[in-house]
A and B are shown apart, each in its own frame.
Chain A
Amino acid sequence: MFYVLATLSIFCIAVLMHILWCRVFPKNRLQIAPFAFFSLVGLLYYGALAHLFFYGSSADRAVNLWNLPLALSAAVVYILLIPIYLALYFNTRVESPTQKILRIIHEHDGIGYEELASCISDSEIIIPRIDDLLRCRYIQMKEGAYCLTARGIVVAKALNAYQVLTGREAGG
């Protein structure tokens, strides 16, 4: 129980530190690096704490619910929680198309297809994502046309391989 409570508490502290950081140093972009730092420090702190607790309690060998040796499982939970928080944090800045559709339907308390489709344009859904691909150099502009870069080809090939393996139609 100690290890699980320790990782959950340290994770909560890392999240609180990140929130505090975002409030004290507000920026108009995602601030992932501070959270990566806080969570890494938290993991190191947990490692030290678990080490001390394990050897501190080794004099009393009796295993009970409190000192049940689950140090590694608790560390795995901690590591797996990090991307989940980052995904939630990412969503505070970027609204997915599905979330946008649900929000519009919810705000209108019922809406017809044409009205809904008119609320969502290429310039909101497609163009910003193409710009992201350009910025991250997955695609490039050549003579007015979008072309894949070497990096983009690798991703596209991986997607095609996944499609061959799973037999699913193209997503999107």
Chain B
Amino acid sequence: MSVFDMAVLINALASFLFFAVVQFFSCRFVSSKEVLRWLMNLVILGLAVNIAGGIILFLKNPEVSAQMVFGAKGLCLILSAGVYLLVTFHYIVLVFGPYESSVRLRVLRELYKEFPRGMLPRELLSRYNARTVVDRRLDRLVSSGEIELKDGVYRVKNRKNYFTVSDIIVGKLRKIAEGK
């Protein structure tokens, strides 16, 4: 492993650890409604830490800085920020996101509450159903500013949010992959 690799990966890992620790200790104070906005702010805070760490590591550290040729500092900064964002995305998509919003995991938890008795389908659906799912998501989306509630009507407020961008990419991918 080269000194450049080491600097890039250590900086990315350190900023992810910062993100994870802050997320871990602050998430208990954040309501489900506020979670999207809070998570986005936290990712940006981690990115700021990553860039600050990168500047110290690549620009101020004489051992690394001495070996840096023209343009290398910028490339290392970008690469380190990229690795940080990718790792954070994985944590959100694979750990935090499913815990926060997975229907399957919620079903498992509801059943665990009654373990070993089990639950009849109607009993399960009376505790957790489509209306609960809709209510939680509407609260979250209104709070994060993705949609607005005005005079009892929900409207998409922010046309270029994470979900719409993701939808556009997925739609294009579906068209290309399936030829539809």
Chain A contact residues, CB within 8 Å of chain B: 1, 4, 18-19, 22-23, 26, 63-65, 68-74, 76-77, 80-81, 83-84, 87-89, 91-92, 96-99, 101-103, 105-106, 109-113, 116-117, 120-122, 124-126, 129-130, 132-133, 138-139, 142-148, 152-153, 155-157, 159-160, 162-163, 165-172
Set of chain A residues within 8 Å of B108, measured between Cβ atoms:
133, 138-139, 148, 152, 155-156, 159
B111 touches A152 (CB 8 A): yes
- How far is B132's CA from A106's CA once the two chains are assembled, in angstroms? 21
Q: How large is the interface on B (under 10, 10 to 19, 20 to 34, 35 or more residues)?
A: 35 or more
What would 19 more interface pairs be, CB under 8 Å, given A117-B131, A125-B130, A130-B121? Answer: A4-B79, A19-B177, A23-B178, A69-B5, A70-B4, A71-B2, A80-B90, A83-B94, A110-B154, A113-B154, A116-B134, A122-B130, A130-B107, A144-B120, A145-B121, A155-B105, A155-B108, A159-B99, A163-B99
Q: Which residues of B contact A156 (CB under 8 A)?
A: 108-109, 111-112, 115
- Measured CA separation A122–B141 after assembly (Å): 21
Q: Is the CB of A73 within 8 A of B103?
A: no
Residues in A neighbouring B9, C-beta threshold 8 A? 72-73, 76
| B118 adjacent to A146 (CB under 8 Å) | yes
Contact flag A89-B173 (CB < 8 Å), given A80-B83, A171-B100: yes
Considering the complex of A and B, which 6 residue pairs feature the smallest CB-CB distances, nearest first?
A: A172-B106, A167-B28, A156-B112, A147-B118, A69-B2, A145-B118
Cross-chain contact A120 with B154 (CB below 8 angstroms): no
Name B2-54 residues within 8 Å CB distance of A.
2, 4-5, 8-9, 24, 27-28, 30, 32
Docked pose: A99 CA to B179 CA in angstroms: 22
Report the minimal beta-carbon distance from B81 to chain A, rounded to whole angstroms: 11
* B103 touches which of A63, A92, A125 (Cβ 8 Å): A125
Q: Which residue of A lies closest to B159 (CB)?
A: A106
A98 to B: closest C-beta gap in Å: 5
Residues of A within 8 Å of B140, CB to CB, are 98
